[in-house]
Structure 1
Amino acid sequence: MRISRETDYAIRCMLHLCANGRKVAMVDEIAQARDVPKSFLAKILQKLKRARLVESFRGVKGGFRLARDPSGISLLDVIEAIQGDVGVNVCAVDDLACDRSAECVIHPIWKKMSSEIVALLREHDLRT
């Protein structure tokens, strides 16, 4: 599994919003504080909003904040919002993606690794 740059930026953004509490943060503020390109961050925030991890507010005092308590948002939630299903190999995420999974000696290893990664990411929320 590889964490994309976009996902790295999303995690930085979510950590900023976590540190901000219930206060609304503007895109400019997050981008500057977390060293993320502003135009890229705006697109990332839309994905996080679609995943219901952040909420947005319009207007002069508008911006973004976490949609729920940070303890209820895992690293897995953030990664899946940006990258989709987490796994070390496509066959470990979707058995139908590989017609050889029944006879493949590596398949159980991929499945176990993916399960352990998912469990670890689910275990850690934005506060840990």
Structure 2
Amino acid sequence: MQITRQADYALRAIYHLTKLDPTQRAATSQIAEEQRIPPSFLAKIISQLSIAGLIHTSRGARGGVSLARSPEEITILEVVEAIDGPIALNECTSSPDACPFGENCPLRKLWCGTQTELIEKLATTTFAQFMSEASSPAASSN
């Protein structure tokens, strides 16, 4: 399983906004440059994050992008799902009929359990926690 490049870019954009003062706005050109995201790709991502209620956007000379909620309230899962939709390791995790073995598939339990663990980890990791871990000395030595 691999998240899309678009979801990765969305996580980077939120990460960038998390580092700003809560009253600050960032220009999309600044986010694109500092996070190495193609500007045309970022425009689509910003739109999706705005529709999901994760960021605010405003146009004009004093415009820009800012977080819609505090970093303590935004999870990694929300950002990934805003871009990629619900996480599914295999189609059988949501539809056992997709597999010829159905509920009796020997791998289905593994896929469902692993998917649940991944979703729980992403759902319980906020950007505030992520920022704290990213800036800790132990994180930089790994």
TM class, shorter-length: over 0.9
Q: 1:98: how far off?
A: 2.0
Gaps of 5+ in 1: none
| C-alpha separation in 2, matches of 1:66 and 1:28 | 16
Q: Cα RMSD between the aligned structures?
A: 1.4
1:4 aligns with 2:14: no
Cα deviations across residues 51-105 of structure 1 (Å, max 9, x unaligned)? 111111121111111110111111000000010011211221x226626431211
TM-score in terms of structure 1 length: 0.92
**1:29 aligned residue:** 30
**5-14 vs 98-107, greater mean Cα deviation:** 98-107
1:1-128 correspondence runs (5 A): 1-22=1-22, 23-92=24-93, 94-95=94-95, 98=98, 100-127=101-128, 128=130
Equivalent position SS for 2:104: coil
Structure-2 change in CA distance of 1:13 and 1:97 (3 Å): farther
Return the TM-score normalized by structure 2.
0.84
Identity %: 34
Counterpart of 1:30, as a letter, is I
SS at match of 2:21: coil
Larger radius of gyration: 2
Consecutive unaligned residues of structure 2, counting only runs of 5 or more, are 131-142
Larger helix share, 1 or 2: 2
